[in-house]
A = this chain, B = another copy of it.
């Protein structure tokens, strides 16, 4: 079951609004086995709207629109699509009375006549009730069973109407015996996309009819398996099996599934072993601590730490020795080691994590270029250090540094590492 989605609005086309409705709709529809074959965005222009709907209609006969249903003059979806279907617009007086009552009830006085646009319904259409706003949605169907559902553009109203009205209608229409689109994501870090494909070998282009997508980002590369054209039960089973196969191949790099944050995986590993964490951050300036404490319940693991942006703070609070700073510089394996040990002692934690680097854009030298970062992780005296040269801008270098630090700790706590 394939539909096309048309999102309508000048603000979308001009880029003032980011289209979050489209993603929400896609995921909601996938959950009942409906997939979006194509999506288009057009401005508040009646002929553009009509043209896009007609094209989509010719391809699939199943179209969902969002936006352009409000009372103002730039809301043109209703008349444009009514004309396309050859239907005139008739006022729904009952709805008008209800709107009038609502305005009075809310102490807003008499409703302006300009709102009557909202109650003009194409002849023969079914109204989709809007429980979160005033503009009703519309379901329009022709004699051949082709249909167009018009939803509002305000995300809260769209989501409510989708859940309350459109999803049940589509489910009723197409039964539940049909197939679904389901996905499973395996999150990896510390390995490049092309290298990952190599490690996956024969699994690299998919498993058992499931497609495999590589989604590189700041946090690493996500591997997303997608099942189409199977029932919900078959899809889940196939995804379980395939995900296990993939995890087997990339176990060194995989830290979680779907929405899991690496910080959360690390906190769990620490909590399971009753280990407390302290952080010492130079170039990341608190970002590692912020990521860890973003996770609810992190106070069971994180005690605190030191933002050691200046060398004085490194020396005075973290006991980094002046000789070490002089001999190797603040961005060095040696200083990272002393910072990690220092914060562990200072805070009285089992684990000290340190980051020191050149986040840029300036401050780089031939010897210590922008992107060079040293990380130290001290787990009860066992120390691992890691030097990287990260690419990207300041924000990326900082984020990737925290990701690498978390990954080092994850590996140290892994079953293969022998720490506890």
Contacts and interface: CB of A to CB of B under 8 A. Distances in A.
A191 to B, nearest CB: 10
A285 B41 CA distance: 39
A20 to B, nearest CB: 6
Contact of A156 (B185, B293, B392): B392
Given A279-B286, A303-B309, A309-B304, A24 B15 contact: yes
B346 A317 contact: yes
Interface stretch (A77-85, A139-147, A169-177, A209-217): A209-217
A361 B226 contact: no
A114 B312 contact: no
A331 to B, nearest CB: 13
A72 to B, nearest CB: 5
- Copies of this subunit: 2
Contacts of A12: 23, 39
Interface residues of A, number: 108
A286 B281 contact: yes
A74 interface: yes
Contact of A213 (B11, B19, B224, B309): B11
Interface stretch (A89-97, A193-201, A233-241, A404-412): A193-201
A242 to B, nearest CB: 16
A18 B15 contact: no
A413 to B, nearest CB: 20
Contacts of A305: 286, 306-307
29 contacts: A11-B224, A12-B39, A13-B36, A15-B26, A16-B185, A18-B19, A18-B23, A19-B22, A22-B41, A38-B42, A39-B40, A55-B55, A70-B193, A70-B216, A72-B193, A112-B198, A154-B216, A279-B286, A285-B286, A285-B292, A286-B288, A286-B289, A287-B290, A290-B398, A296-B361, A299-B309, A302-B309, A303-B312, A307-B307
